[in-house]
Structure 1
Amino acid sequence: MHLVIADILNKKELGFISRILDQGEFEDGRLTAGKVAARVKNNLQFKKTDDNRKHLNNTVIKALNGSDVFRSAVLPKRIHRPLFGRYESGMEYGYHVDAALMDKPNTLRTDVSVTVFLNDPGDYDGGELTIDSSLGEQKIKLPAGYAFAYPSSTLHRVAPVTRGVRLVAVTWAHSYIRDPAQREILFDLRRVCLGLTALHADSDEAGLANKTHTNLLRMWAES
């Protein structure tokens, strides 16, 4: 399931992040890439050693956890510390699949990848998050504050930036539900539950839908 989530970050949060990134230092993005991905990665990332990094991480993770849509769709057990990427003119990230395991020794399995856009599409040309799918390339370029979530097993790239600067936060979630098809079923059913409850909260149909969602979650969730 590919999911656009609007307004994960509000204007105040975006301004806070922007000020820290403007004042901080960036380093070669290949430092956090695996051997295969490093061959096709050409970007900059906010330094891990910056004193403000913790504040940036907390802002993004708190915003994701505060989104009903994100929680319902992703069902996150753990969220990886975000990486803050900067793509200047000529920079790109070629086709790759995100690492399956991160954060050794406290290993996190990556089930869902998330890109949070930190500046507006008009600030740069190119730089589309490009998903390889059975329908061909799907290009994603969203307003500041929006997030795009997709299975971490997806082959994807960031197209070359030809003008301006692209700023993003990227992170990964370890989901209680490993299977993306099961996550999609639960997310669809959750929306059915909300719709039925809004129309007839006391109806048998609303109760049955909520029961089914709860029991499927119980059946499929990994503790």
Structure 2
Amino acid sequence: MLISIEQVLSKDEVRQFRTILDGAPWQDGAASGGTLARTVKHNEQVDDSADVAISLGNHLLRTLGAHPLFVSAALPRKIYPPRFNRYASGGGYGAHVDSAIMHVPASAVSVRTDLAATLFLSEPDEYDGGELEIEGAFGGQSVKLAAGDMVLYPASSLHRVAPVRRGARIASFFWIESLVGDEGARATLFDLDQAIQQLTPVLATDDARLLKLTNVYHNLVRRWATT
């Protein structure tokens, strides 16, 4: 299940992020790649321990915690702290799969990577190339969103970032461990929750049909969630 979430950050927030990131300490992104991935990874990243990365990451986490569509789609249990990367001058990231378990630096926390997220911080017309290409059961999908928009997709997917031929592609990326680890179950819950949200404005709050659907949703969460 691939979901695009619009305007996670406002245009003003994007400008603030970009201003701060323009002055951030960038380093070779290959250093954070796995044994295989680092051979095909050609980008720059902000050091995870840098104050700027922590501050911007915390802002993003607070925003996502209050975002209904993100919560509905991800049912987050843990989120790996957001990272920030930049692709320019032909930089790209060849086909790879994310590690199944990621350990948060300087902590005892481990995150099972059920979902991956990319939040775009550059507008599409600022750069050529740089598409996030994701392989799925029904073929490949190419994603290049407006600044402030985010794509959420299974971390188990084979994916790549096409080389950037002009300009710079700046983004935040991170991983989510869901309360519901099974992708099919999570997709079913998302569809059901979206249907309930669409019906809520047009039905009375005590409508028996709405109450029954809500009851089914929460009972399925109880059955499938791990805490």
Shorter-chain TM-score bucket reads: over 0.9
SS in 2 for 1:108: strand
User: How far 1:69 moved relative to its partner?
Assistant: 0.0
Match of 1:178 in 2: 181
User: How far 1:197 moved relative to its partner?
Assistant: 2.1
CA distance in 1, matches of 2:137, 2:191: 22
CA distance in 1, matches of 2:221, 2:29: 37
User: How far 1:184 moved relative to its partner?
Assistant: 0.7
Contact 1:79 1:172 in 2 (8 A): yes
1:219/1:66 Cα in 2 relative to 1: closer, same or farther (>3 Å)? same
CA distance in 2, matches of 1:10, 1:146: 9
Match of 1:195 in 2: 198
Alignment of 1:127-146 (within 5 A): 127-146=130-149
CA distance in 2, matches of 1:194, 1:160: 39
SS in 1 for 2:27: strand
> 1:134-166: per-residue Cα shift (whole Å, max 9, x none)?
443211000000000001100000001110000
SS in 1 for 2:201: helix
Given candidates 213, 217, 220, the residue that maps to 2:217 is 213
**1:56 corresponds to which letter in structure 2?**
L
**1:186 corresponds to which letter in structure 2?**
L
Match of 2:91 in 1: 91
**2:135 corresponds to which letter in structure 1?**
D
User: How far 1:132 moved relative to its partner?
Assistant: 1.4
**2:162 corresponds to which letter in structure 1?**
A
Deviates more, 1:161-170 or 1:101-110: 101-110
Structure 2: runs of 5+ lacking an equivalent = none
Match of 2:8 in 1: 8
Deviates more, 1:196-205 or 1:39-48: 196-205
> Is 1:63 the equivalent of 2:67?
no
Contact 1:13 1:59 in 2 (8 A): no
Equivalent pairs: percent with the same residue? 40
Instruction: State the Cα RMSD in Å.
Output: 1.2
> 1:1-30: per-residue Cα shift (whole Å, max 9, x none)?
100000001123212211111111100111
Contact 2:53 2:83 in 1 (8 A): no
TM-score (norm 1): 0.96
Structure 1: runs of 5+ lacking an equivalent = none
CA distance in 2, matches of 1:139, 1:120: 16
Deviates more, 1:92-101 or 1:135-144: 135-144
CA distance in 2, matches of 1:47, 1:221: 34
CA distance in 2, matches of 1:101, 1:114: 15
Contact 2:48 2:54 in 1 (8 A): no
User: How far 1:191 moved relative to its partner?
Assistant: 1.3
SS in 1 for 2:22: helix
CA distance in 2, matches of 1:207, 1:60: 33
Given candidates 153, 156, 160, the residue that maps to 2:159 is 156
SS in 1 for 2:20: helix
TM-score (norm 2): 0.95
> 1:70-113: per-residue Cα shift (whole Å, max 9, x none)?
00010001111111010002100000111111115421101110
> Is 1:29 the equivalent of 2:29?
yes
User: How far 1:51 moved relative to its partner?
Assistant: 2.5
